[in-house]
Amino acid sequence: MSREPQGETRPIPRWKLAIQQTPTHELGERDWEELLPFFRATYEIDMEGLKASVLNRTHILRVRERGSGRLVGTTAFGVAPVTLPTGASARVFYAGDVLLLPNLRGSGLVQEMAARVVLAELLRHPFTTHYGFGVALTHYMYLGVVRSFADAWPRSDRETPPEIRFVMETVGRMAYAETWRSADEPVAVGRRGRGRDLVISETMMQAPDVRFFVEKNPDYSRGTALPFLVKI
């Protein structure tokens, strides 16, 4: 899901921006020193948590202003091959949060970054089933997922199919190692949302999807996230 670090609100034209893709193992100390304050504008996170979040992906996309080189957006991603219990093959995207300055809202950058990664993968493996794996740190993130994808799990209105649970378990262990517990349990991600994103009003709690998120992830305000999977 897209989140927005605090900053200026004057729109930046798309032609003034460049997207840079880098293998995460090539990030140096100067890169980390630039990324940490950018992440801290949205999350409560330290350097250890930042590296743990980014380095379990294979690549990072950074959006910069042409000329100044200023960092204005970022996301990290990986693609994992998974052999399903049926013997069929699947490919699973697993990405970190998309962080964008507020003045990039409506610029199409989220869609462009997703298309850049997803279309390249679909062209390489056109006849393979593809999924997207992630974790929802707040109810806003979870609502964005279940309201954007018809095939998204877990959800309040039906059980998670065994094949979906298998994929979540496989990629969850890969992405979160020793912090992963199971597809049915929240995972500690080394960061937590800011206070403004954690408040759930009584009115919002009336929505079945919001209640479901809180029931499945009662410690969300302490930095646990609900795993999810979508079919692409």
Q: Is 3 a residue whose pLDDT tops 60?
A: no
What's the chain's average pLDDT? 88
Query: pLDDT tens-digit profile of 21-35?
Result: 999 999 999 999 999
Q: Name the residue with tokens 């990664």.
A: 117
Q: E-assigned strands of the chain?
A: 2-3, 17-23, 43-45, 59-65, 71-83, 89-95, 98-100, 129-136, 152-153, 187-188, 191-193, 224-231
What number is the average pLDDT over the span 169-191? 89
Better pLDDT: 198 or 180: 180
Angle at 152 between CA 2 and CA 159, to 5 degrees: 140
For residue 155, what are the β-bridge partners?
Answer: 158
Instruction: Say whether the peptide bond before residue 154 is cis (omega within 30 degrees of 0).
Output: yes
CA-to-CA distance for 40 and 230, rounded, in angstroms?
Answer: 28
Tens-place pLDDT, residues 191-224: 777 677 788 888 889 999 999 999 999 998 888 9
In this prediction, residue 137 has a pLDDT band, given cuts at 50, 70 and 90, of confident
pLDDT for position 8: 56
pLDDT of res. 5:
61
pLDDT of residue 171: 93
Report the percentage of the chain scoring pLDDT > 90: 52
Residue 133 in contact with residue 149, Cβ under 8 Å?
no
Decide which of 8 and 71 is more confident: 71
* Cα distances (Å, whole numbers) of residue 178 to 111, 114, 124: 32, 28, 31
Which of 66-70, 104-108, 220-224, 227-231 has the lowest average pLDDT?
104-108
175 Cβ contact partners less than 8 Å away, ≥ 6 residues apart: 56, 57, 78, 94, 133
Are 145 and 98 within 8 A, CB to CB? no
Whole-structure pTM value: 0.77
Regarding predicted confidence, which is higher, 102 or 166?
166
pLDDT score for 223: 85
Instruction: Please compute the mean of the pLDDT values over residues 51-68 and round it to a whole number.
Output: 91
95 touches 228 (CB < 8 A)? no
Q: What is the CA radius of gyration of the chain?
A: 17
Q: For residue 113, name the pLDDT band (cuts at 50, 70, 90).
A: confident
